[in-house]
Amino acid sequence: MEVPTTEHLTGPTPAMPQQKRTRVKRSSSSWWYHTANWLGLLPFLLFCLIFEILPALMLLQGSFNDNQGAFTFGNYQHMFAQSGTIHAFETSIELSLVSAVISTILGFFAAYGVYRLHSNWLRNLITGFSSLTANFAGVPLAFAFISTLGVTGFVTVLLRNVLHIDLYNLGFSLYNFWGLVLTYVYFELPLMVLITLPSLSALRPEWSEAATNLGASNLTYWRKVALPVLMPSLVAALMLLFANAFGAYATAYALAQGGINLVTILISFAVAGNVSIDVGLGNALAMGMVIVLCLAVSLYTYMLRRASLWQGR
């Protein structure tokens, strides 16, 4: 059991005073039981408080403070007035959404391909490889793409020498929007494959059998049965990928070196003490990010709950 301590979290239980009136002895032990219950969570709650909750609260407070610590809406006005910061939000959202949509669609079909594979070892190999590449992100990933599609990258040079196609003359660049999309898709695609596989396995064979018995074609089965059942999981996956891309900093930083205007890059200027962004504005930008991400994560949890309705998980 827990070691008795004097400090405890706020509010044991509302039921406590009522019980006290009826039976004194039992109520004191039940009061102790409830307090002990919460006390067991104390280390974890305290850890989350000082390393997770308080930083977030401080950002909220700081976003309403000016340099002298007085209350102001100035940071937000600043944020909405500058075309640069608005543009950064647009670019970040666009980049995350485009890469998430591409990964969701391609990843879904690829996952279907894995699901239809008959050989077990091949399926395991692909799943393992997917979890490997899904974890391969950040600086190394950026370097891998520079080695592949950078100006002197292997594929760029190969195309130029063998097929006489010069990607960079055709307007392609790894260091702008589409280059980043290509790089983000690299770790989002395998992630999508991994999170879609369980949902696909949850499709019951009976459903397709029943549909076929009732004369449904393959296409009708997918349109009327499988896709509606899978839709919540797909939207949840899309939101997860979006949130993942929206918060990403290392990949964009290592690839474009501040050459692309993203919210995460602007916030890093504020952290590093760069003069172009003061800390108040940085706080406001961070709050903006948190709000967008909260929307995505709420939709994600809501859709997961919807998905569990059909998939019994």
Partner 1 sequence: MSTQATQINSARPRQRGLHNLNVGKILLFLVMLYLLVPLAATLVISFTGSPFSVKAYSDLFTDSNLWTTLLLSLGLGIGSTILTVVLITPTAYWVQLRIPRARPLIDLLTLLPFAVPPIVLSLGYLEVYGDSHTWISILSLGLVPLLSNDPFNIVNTPQLLICAYVIIALPFAYRPIDNSLRALNTRVLAEAASSLGCGWWRTFLTIIIPNILPGIISAALLTFTTAMGEFTLASLSGIYTFSVYLDETGQNDPYKAAALTIVSFIITLLCVLALIFLARQRGASKKKTGNIEIAAAR
* Chain residues 64-103 in contact with partner 1, contact rule CB under 8 A: none
Total residues contacting partner 1 by CB under 8 A comes to 109
Residue 71 pairs in a beta bridge with 65
Point out which span in 23-31, 138-146, 163-171, 173-181 binds partner 1 (CB under 8 A). Answer: 138-146
Q: How would DSSP label each residue in 211-269?
A: HHHTT--HHHHIIIIIHHHHHHHHHHHHHHHHHHHHT--HHHHHHHTT-S--HHHHHHH
Q: Looking at 17, 128, 258, 259, which residue binds partner 1 (CB under 8 A)?
A: 128
Q: Is 296 exposed, middle or buried (0-12, 13-18, 19+ CB in 10 A)?
A: buried
249 lies in the binding site for partner 1 (CB under 8 A): yes
Cβ atoms 292, 96 nearer than 8 A: no
Q: Looking at 100, 102, 235, 240, which residue binds partner 1 (CB under 8 A)?
A: 240
Q: Looking at 15, 48, 81, 165, which residue binds partner 1 (CB under 8 A)?
A: 48
203 lies in the binding site for partner 1 (CB under 8 A): no
Beta carbon of residue 47, minimum distance to partner 1 (angstroms, whole number): 6
Beta carbon of residue 137, minimum distance to partner 1 (angstroms, whole number): 4
Beta carbon of residue 153, minimum distance to partner 1 (angstroms, whole number): 7
Residues written for the chain: 313
166 lies in the binding site for partner 1 (CB under 8 A): no
55 lies in the binding site for partner 1 (CB under 8 A): yes
Site of tokens 């006390």: 39
Nearer of residues 77 and 220 to partner 1, judged by Cβ: 220
Nearer of residues 24 and 205 to partner 1, judged by Cβ: 205
Q: How far apart are CA 203 and CA 229, in angstroms?
A: 8
Q: Closest Cα to residue 5, out of 32, 23, 28?
A: 32
Residue type, 274: N
208 lies in the binding site for partner 1 (CB under 8 A): yes
Which residues have CB under 8 Å from 120's CB, separation 6+? none
> What CA–CA distances, in Å, run from 75 to 58, 65, 136, 311?
15, 8, 36, 46
Q: Longest C-alpha distance within the chain, in Å?
A: 90
Nearer of residues 37 and 77 to partner 1, judged by Cβ: 37
Q: How far apart are CA 272 and CA 29, in angstroms?
A: 53
Point out which span in 19-27, 81-89, 93-101, 297-305 binds partner 1 (CB under 8 A). Answer: 297-305
Tell me which residues in 215-234 interact with partner 1 (CB under 8 A).
218, 221-222
Question: Is the Cα torsion angle 135, 138, 140, 142 positive or negative in sign?
Answer: positive
Point out which span in 71-79, 88-96, 153-161, 170-178 binds partner 1 (CB under 8 A). Answer: 153-161
172 lies in the binding site for partner 1 (CB under 8 A): no
261 lies in the binding site for partner 1 (CB under 8 A): no
Point out which span in 22-30, 38-46, 93-101, 171-179 binds partner 1 (CB under 8 A). Answer: 38-46
